Amino acid sequence: MSLPATRPEPAPAPRQGRAAPARAPVRAPVRAPVRTPVRTPARPPARAPTPRPAGTAARRRGFHAGFWAFAALLLTAIVLVLVSLSALVVETGLRIDHAEDRLASLADRREVLERDVARLGAPGRIAAWATERGLVMPEGVVVLQVPGRVAAADPAGPADPPGAEG
């Protein structure tokens, strides 16, 4: 706080000989009025609720019926998609199992067929079958060659054309 204002003392009388400059009279400072702070409540006073038409408050408390219908439809669609995907996964698994079983049976069948081919293609078995049917090995084999054509049994290569000497 500041000190209270006081009146200034009168100025001394001017000396003779020289004229003193003219001074304005000094006034006492004016104090500003002190304002006391206005206290405001921490919370505004409660107001009475404004009257609303009947049924408005009930509608604002919950969700609209359209929302519930949309939510139920969306939930049903999601469940159907999940069930469908689950069924597809199970069906695909069953198809894979069936394909693996068929692959195993075909591999077994191939093994049996390869053994049959090896057994039936043995030269001794073919010779025995032929003699049972009355076939005999030829004694005198004659190879005929046609001029100008390649002989199948000639390992030396093609025959010379007629008239070519060289």
State the 10-residue block means of pLDDT for the chain, 166 residues long.
67 63 71 77 70 59 87 97 97 97 97 95 92 89 84 54 52
**Is the Cβ–Cβ distance between 145 and 151 less than 8 Å?**
yes
- Cβ proximity of 145 and 154 under 8 Å: yes
- Reference 26, options 5, 46, 55; nearest CA is 5
Which of helix, strand or coil describes residue 99? helix
Would you say 107 and 99 are in contact if contact means Cβ atoms under 8 Å apart?
A: no
- pLDDT at position 11: 67
* Residue-wise pLDDT tens digits, 115-124: 999 999 999 9
pLDDT at residue 166, as a whole number? 45
Residue found under tokens 């195993």? 104
Please give the pLDDT value at position 87.
97
Q: What's residue 118's pLDDT?
A: 93
CA neighbor of 4 nearest in space, from 27, 37, 30:
30
pLDDT at 111: 97
What's the predicted TM-score (pTM) here?
0.39
